[in-house]
């Protein structure tokens, strides 16, 4: 069977906790001659995740509206220069989606596949870290999808989250999201291919060769030159230079950014340390659980149609 046909039904999705290396993985895979993965879209959270909305009566019309909204919103908020590709195909997408009665799977394929096709790539994917909470949605539309879960040392990931310019400077929220990401990753571990960020940066060729075997693709040396400056702990726009290789992560870089109290709380929260001192952190634990409740409420509201109530009440 032709390899292109064999792999055409196996898109690649990159998920994980925030600041866990999903962007680096996207840049590595995009250097492959057959693969292209565009910037974050939140497709499964904001488009497929909203399929229970009472407003959504016509998939093509809804798809057109959401694509326009996505393009305008994402381009204005992000610094990734690749986002201009979405605008390049904006009117092609809108025209195509307006012509027929498409399923959500069709909409996703059109949205992601067109960019890859225009770049001469035969295989497409998608990268949104928070889709770790929507693995079931991904598998509903693409049962044969390959889902790469990026993991990173929790202290480095949380410290990077706090230092990132476009994320909230909220330690308890960062801890809550990281812990939830671990919980969901364990829940779906049977269908995830996990890559440790530290391993990727220290032994990039070995990690990427193993990943290519899993993807049923040949390893290509240019994957080792993603062209991305280290964006971890960075408040700068990602710089693109194809001469740049993969920069090893500093194992204890977090010590420059987290207090000893924050470090100990992370150990206790994630069960890395005896909970003998846990009562000294009970109030911090409550703060984390509060943020997790609010975060999970946003995730599940669309699944159960809570948005319909807002519509009926004109909120």
> Residue 114: its pLDDT value, please?
82
Bridge partners (DSSP) of residue 228 are 240
CATH numbers and ranges of domains, the chain: 3-312 (3.40.50.300)
Question: Tens of pLDDT along 83-141?
Answer: 666 667 777 777 777 776 778 888 888 888 888 888 899 999 999 999 999 999 999 99
Q: Could you tell me the two tokens for 175? A: 């801890």
Q: Which of 121, 123, 30 is nearest to 82 (CA)?
A: 30
> Residue 163: its pLDDT value, please?
86
User: CA-CA distance, 176 to 269, in Å (whole number)?
Assistant: 9
Tell which phi-psi region holds residue 127, choosing left (phi > 0), alpha (psi between -120 and 50) or beta: beta
Lowest-confidence segment of 21-30, 38-47, 52-61, 268-277 by average pLDDT:
52-61
DSSP one-letter string for the chain? --HHHHHTT--EEEEESTTSSHHHHHHHHHTSTTEE--S---IIIIIGGGTT-TT---HHHHHHHHHHHHHHHHHHH---GGGHHHHHTHHHHHHHHHHS---HHHHHHHHHHHHHHHTT-SEEEEE-GGGGGGHHHHHHH-TT-EEEEEE--HHHHHHHHHH-TTS---HHHHHHHHHHHHHHHHHTGGGEEEEEHHHHHHSHHHHHHHHHHHHT----GGGG---B---TT--SPPPB-TT--PPPPPTTGGGGTS-HHHHHHHHHHTTSS-GGGGGGGHHHHHHHHHHHHHHHHHHHHTTTTHHHHHHHTT-
For residues 157-166, give the mean pLDDT.
Answer: 88
Question: Tens of pLDDT along 185-199?
Answer: 999 999 999 999 999
pTM of the model: 0.86
> Residue 271: its pLDDT value, please?
79
Q: Assign 167 a pLDDT band (cuts: 50, 70, 90).
A: confident
Q: Assign 5 a pLDDT band (cuts: 50, 70, 90).
A: very low
Bridge partners (DSSP) of residue 142 are none
Burial class (CB in 10 A: 0-12, 13-18, 19+), 278: middle
> Residue 94: its pLDDT value, please?
72
Question: Tens of pLDDT along 228-265?
Answer: 766 666 655 555 666 778 888 888 889 989 999 999 99
């Amino acid at each position: 069977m032709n390899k292109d046909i064999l792999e055409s039904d196996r898109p690649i999705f990159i998920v994980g906790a925030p600041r866990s290396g999903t962007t680096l993985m996207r840049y590595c895979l995009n250097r492959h001659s057959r693969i292209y993965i565009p910037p974050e879209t939140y497709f499964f959270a904001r488009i497929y995740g909203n399929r229970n909305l009472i407003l959504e009566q016509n998939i093509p019309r809804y798809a057109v509206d959401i694509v326009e909204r996505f393009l305008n919103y994402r381009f204005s908020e992000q610094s990734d220069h690749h986002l201009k590709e979405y605008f390049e195909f904006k009117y092609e997408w809108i025209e195509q989606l307006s012509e027929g009665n498409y399923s959500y799977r069709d909409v996703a394929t059109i949205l992601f596949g067109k960019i890859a096709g225009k770049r001469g790539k035969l295989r497409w994917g998608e990268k949104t870290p928070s889709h770790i909470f929507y693995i079931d949605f991904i598998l509903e539309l693409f049962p044969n999808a390959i889902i790469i879960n990026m993991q990173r040392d929790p202290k480095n990931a949380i410290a990077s989250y706090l230092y990132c310019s476009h994320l909230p400077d909220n330690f308890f929220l960062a801890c809550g999201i990281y812990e939830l990401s671990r919980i969901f990753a364990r829940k779906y571990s049977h269908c995830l291919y996990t890559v440790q960020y530290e391993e990727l940066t220290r032994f990039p060729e070995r990690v990427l060769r193993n990943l290519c075997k899993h993807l049923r693709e040949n390893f290509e040396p240019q994957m080792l030159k993603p062209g991305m400056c280290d964006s971890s702990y960075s408040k700068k726009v990602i710089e693109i230079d194809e001469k740049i290789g993969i920069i090893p992560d500093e194992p204890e870089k977090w010590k420059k950014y987290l207090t000893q109290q924050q470090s100990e709380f992370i150990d206790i929260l994630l069960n890395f340390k005896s909970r003998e001192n846990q009562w000294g952190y009970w109030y911090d634990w409550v703060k984390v659980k509060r943020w997790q409740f609010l975060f999970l409420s946003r995730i599940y509201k669309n699944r159960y149609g809570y948005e319909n109530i807002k519509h009926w009440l004109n909120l």
